[in-house]
RNA sequence: GGAGGCGUCGCCUAGUCCGGUCUAUGGCGCCCGCCUGCUAAGCGGGUUUGGGGGUUAUUCCCCAUCGCGAGUUCAAAUCUCGCCGCCUCCGCCA
């Protein structure tokens, strides 16, 4: 969310910057709304001041035995006027808030122009895609042939876009979770959390999924409660400090959590319908960093480095791209995507998205810290996948496949799975 | 789900029965100053948060805020109703 005054400050260049992501800011309308709201506040405040004076006068006069009926009559009139003024202010304040909540974050000027992933800038690549002297299969064929993935039965249970993993497939998922968490905790300095997977609408407003993107979420209701399944652990992790002031000495905070993620995938009919790439429910280890606003760019570099480190330990070729201004997510001011090489698709595919949200979420969730001179300011927040389990399984299967139908598991992970080869029949050793 | 208790400006706390003198008491902590070889103690002052207005050098004025919301009243921390959270006990449950 933005501070309306900051948006109207010419120095912010909000109109130009929002235009880069296709958002047109109506400055005159915003000026009008803000100033009429403020005028309403002044009117109501002044009336209340008068009302308080009258009440005190009534008390005094009554004590002295005077006649208070005229004073009371005037006080009742003011009360009506206050009510009227307040109703106007409330309406305008609600309109203003709704508007502010719907405006995306300002992209940084360092981002490339454009609106699609084709406009992204490639930052660096790591590793070499494996060469095969046979036609590599994709992870769906590999998983079904070895019997470690079962999409047909997942559909029987829950419909399309779910997965069942069996035997080595399930063990692979569990091993990856431990491997990712251990690396972040022991080598990257993160604190592990276990968090609720159902959260309140308020939490989702805090991180920006609501009110605009409700159709992407799974909503639950039980009794009078209204809870949503989390689309990412970013939501509970970031909101841990909602309505708090985090002392500067505690920053930066580095949090990680392993959770399921639930996404309705509305509007993606026909895209990645096969396999693990786009499903309604997947496991993910998420990283969240919270820092002073002037540190967010440094922190973003660390964050993306932590995601890359996992792929490097697994020996998976990947590249880092800087998303174009118009392709960057609603809450982010800058996003690096890490893309892993998928031989089955003969392409790099997104496996991690690392975003610097600046103070955008901090303001929405009311997470603050203090400046050197003790003033309160909103923190900056960052989040990145580190990493999603399903997409990593897909990458491991496709990159590790051998001519004999077996799959070789990287050494770093074998310590966690207890096997280093999945044979064509699904057995391991 | 049922019964009871509690919720006050960082922490603790007075005030709530009986509405106006609450501009919310006191202590602790913290900040500034005085005193002082130094430190402590002592003394004096300050210390909720959010918003609006005027000035823009500072500063000043106003409004809201006693868990949240509604109501009664000229006037609510105080009375009424609803809700939320926490604690204790009971029921149910993995």
Check whether residue A295 and residue A337 sit in a common domain: yes
Residue A267: is its pLDDT beyond 80? no
pLDDT band at A271 (very low <50, low <70, confident <90, very high): confident
Strand B and A271 CB separated by under 7 Å: no
pLDDT at residue A223, as a whole number: 66
| Per-residue pLDDT tens digits for A340-352 | 999 999 999 999 9
Domain count, chain A: 2
**From CA A187, how far away is CA A404, in angstroms rounded?**
36
Q: Domain ends where: A62, A77, A102?
A: A102
A375/B32 CA-to-C1' distance in Å: 18
The ipTM (two decimal places) reads 0.84
CATH number reported for the structural domain that contains residue A243 in this entry? 3.30.930.10
Strand B and A376 CB separated by under 7 Å: yes
Check whether residue A128 and residue A216 sit in a common domain: yes
| Per-residue pLDDT tens digits for A294-306 | 999 999 999 999 9
**From CA A54, how far away is CA A73, in angstroms rounded?**
10
Look at strands A367-370 and A244-245 and give their pairing.
Answer: parallel
A199/B16 CA-to-C1' distance in Å: 37
In a domain, A110, yes or no: no
Q: Domain ends where: A49, A77, A102?
A: A102
pLDDT band at A243 (very low <50, low <70, confident <90, very high): confident
Residues of A from 27 to 56 whose C-beta is within 7 A of strand B: which are they? 35, 38-39, 41-42, 44-46, 48-49, 51-52, 54-56
In a domain, A109, yes or no: no
Return the active site residues of A: 263, 278, 350, 353, 391
Place of tokens 């064929």: A141
Check whether residue A135 and residue A85 sit in a common domain: no
**From CA A272, how far away is CA A265, in angstroms rounded?**
11
C-alpha count within 13 angstroms, C-beta hemisphere, residue A414: 13
Check whether residue A130 and residue A93 sit in a common domain: no
**From CA A316, how far away is CA A398, in angstroms rounded?**
10
In the β-sheet with A225-229, what is the strand arrangement from edge to edge?
A198-199, A225-229, A218-222
**From CA A364, how far away is CA A102, in angstroms rounded?**
11
Q: Domain ends where: A72, A102, A132?
A: A102
A27/B49 CA-to-C1' distance in Å: 31
Check whether residue A94 and residue A178 sit in a common domain: no
In a domain, A397, yes or no: yes
Check whether residue A70 and residue A203 sit in a common domain: no
Check whether residue A98 and residue A131 sit in a common domain: no
Check whether residue A53 and residue A180 sit in a common domain: no
In a domain, A367, yes or no: yes
Check whether residue A57 and residue A165 sit in a common domain: no
Check whether residue A79 and residue A221 sit in a common domain: no
Q: Output the known binding site of A.
A: 232-234, 263-265, 279-282, 286, 350-353, 383, 385
A362/B26 CA-to-C1' distance in Å: 37
Instruction: Give the structural domain span for A97.
Output: 26-102
Q: What's the average model confidence in pLDDT over A346-365?
A: 96
Residue A144: is its pLDDT beyond 90? yes
CATH number reported for the structural domain that contains residue A77 in this entry? 1.10.287.40
| Per-residue pLDDT tens digits for A32-52 | 999 999 999 999 999 999 999
Residues of A from 59 to 88 whose C-beta is within 7 A of strand B: which are they? 59, 62, 68, 71-72, 75-76, 79
Check whether residue A228 and residue A366 sit in a common domain: yes
pLDDT band at A142 (very low <50, low <70, confident <90, very high): very high
What's the 3-state SS for chain A? CCCHHHHHCHHHCHHHHHHCCCCCCCHHHHHHHHHHHHHHHHHHHHHHHHHHHHHHHHHHHHHCCCCCHHHHHHHHHHHHHHHHHHHHHHHHHHHHHHHHHHCCCCCCCCCCCCCCHHHCEEEEEECCCCCCCCCCCCHHHHHHHHCCECHHHHHHHHCCCCCCECCHHHHHHHHHHHHHHHHHHHCCCCEEECCCCEECHHHHHHHCCCCCCHHHCEEEEECCEEEEECCCCHHHHHHCCCCEECCHHHCCEEEEEEEEEECCCCCCCCCCCCCCCCCCEEEEEEEEEEECHHHHHHHHHHHHHHHHHHHHHCCCCEEEEECCHHHCCCCCCEEEEEEEEECCCCEEEEEEEEEECCCHHHHHHCEEEECCCCCEEECEEEEEEEEEHHHHHHHHHHHHECCCCCEECCHHHHHHHCCCEECCCCCEC
In a domain, A70, yes or no: yes
Q: Output the known binding site of A for L-serine.
A: 232-234, 263, 286, 383, 385
The closest alpha carbon to A147, from A420, A411, A422, A409, belongs to: A422
Check whether residue A74 and residue A140 sit in a common domain: no
Residue A193: is its pLDDT beyond 90? yes
Strand B contact nucleotides, protein CB < 7 Å: 1, 20, 49-53, 62-64, 73-75, 84
């Amino acid at each position: 969310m933005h501070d309306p005054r900051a948006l109207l400050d010419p120095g912010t260049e909000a109109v130009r910057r929002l235009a880069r992501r296709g958002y047109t800011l109506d400055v005159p309308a915003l000026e009008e709304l803000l100033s009429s709201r403020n005028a309403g506040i002044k009117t109501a405040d002044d009336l209340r001041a008068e009302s308080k004076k009258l009440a005190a006068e009534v008390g005094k006069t009554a004590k002295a035995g005077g006649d208070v009926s005229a004073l009371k009559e005037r006080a009742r009139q003011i009360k009506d006027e206050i009510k009227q003024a307040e109703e106007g202010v409330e309406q305008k304040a609600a309109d203003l808030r709704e508007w502010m909540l719907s405006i995306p974050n300002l992209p940084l000027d360092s981002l490339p122009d454009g609106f699609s992933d084709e406009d992204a800038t490639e930052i660096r690549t790591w590793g070499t895609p494996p060469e095969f002297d046979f036609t590599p299969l994709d992870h769906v064929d590999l998983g079904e042939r070895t019997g470690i993935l079962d999409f047909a039965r997942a559909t029987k249970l829950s419909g399309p876009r779910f997965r069942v993993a069996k035997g080595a497939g399930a063990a692979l998922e569990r091993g990856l979770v431990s491997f990712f968490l251990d690396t972040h905790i022991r080598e990257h300095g993160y604190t592990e959390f276990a968090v609720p997977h159902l959260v309140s609408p308020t939490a989702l407003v805090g991180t920006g999924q609501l009110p605009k993107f409700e159709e992407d979420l799974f909503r639950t209701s039980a009794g009078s409660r209204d809870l949503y399944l989390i689309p990412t652990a970013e939501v509970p992790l970031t909101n841990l400090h909602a309505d708090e002031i985090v002392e500067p000495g505690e920053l930066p905070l580095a949090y990680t959590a392993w959770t399921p993620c639930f996404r309705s995938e509305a509007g993606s009919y026909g895209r990645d319908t096969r396999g693990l790439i786009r499903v309604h429910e997947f496991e993910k280890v998420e990283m969240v960093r919270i820092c002073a606003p002037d540190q967010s760019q440094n922190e973003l570099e660390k964050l993306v480095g932590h995601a890359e480190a996992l792929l490097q330990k697994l020996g998976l070729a990947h590249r880092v791209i800087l998303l174009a201004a118009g392709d960057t997510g609603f809450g982010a001011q800058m996003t690096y995507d890490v893309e892993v090489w998928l031989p089955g698709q003969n392409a790099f595919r997104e496996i991690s998205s690392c975003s610097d949200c600046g103070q955008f979420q901090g303001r929405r969730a009311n997470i603050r810290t203090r400046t050197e001179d003790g003033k309160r300011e909103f923190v900056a927040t960052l989040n990145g996948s580190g990493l999603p389990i399903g997409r990593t399984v897909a990458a491991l299967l496709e990159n590790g496949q051998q001519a004999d139908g077996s799959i070789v598991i990287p050494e770093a992970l074998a310590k966690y799975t207890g096997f280093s080869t999945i044979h064509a029949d699904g057995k391991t050793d």
